[in-house]
Amino acid sequence: MERSSGNVFADIGFPQEEALNLCLRAELMIRLAQFIEKKGLTQLQAAKKLGVTQPRLNLMLKRRIELFSLDALVNMAARAGMRVEMRVKEPLKKAA
């Protein structure tokens, strides 16, 4: 057994910068899907609200992460009235 780094994408071998981007995209996809479910929207209603086509929304709901940029997901969240925030921290200091 191995302790997780907190980022599943880093844990399975993605380079650190790509793992961070994938983690952020995954979080946005989850939150958007939760928003749609909570509001009880059909895919067509949700697509219209988020400014995408229904087939594109379906791909997002199927977690086709490779097809969505961080920008596209932030734009969808903004159209849903969600507030997306970013926090940048200092790098972790490595033990001597």
Residue type, 27: E
11-67 pLDDT, tens digit per residue, is 888 888 888 899 999 999 999 999 999 999 999 999 999 999 999 999 999 999 999
Helix %, strand %, coil % of the chain (to 5)? 60, 0, 40
pTM given for the model? 0.83
Q: Assign 96 a pLDDT band (cuts: 50, 70, 90).
A: low
Q: Is the pLDDT of residue 94 over 70?
A: no
Helix spans in 40-79 (H): 43-50, 54-61, 70-79
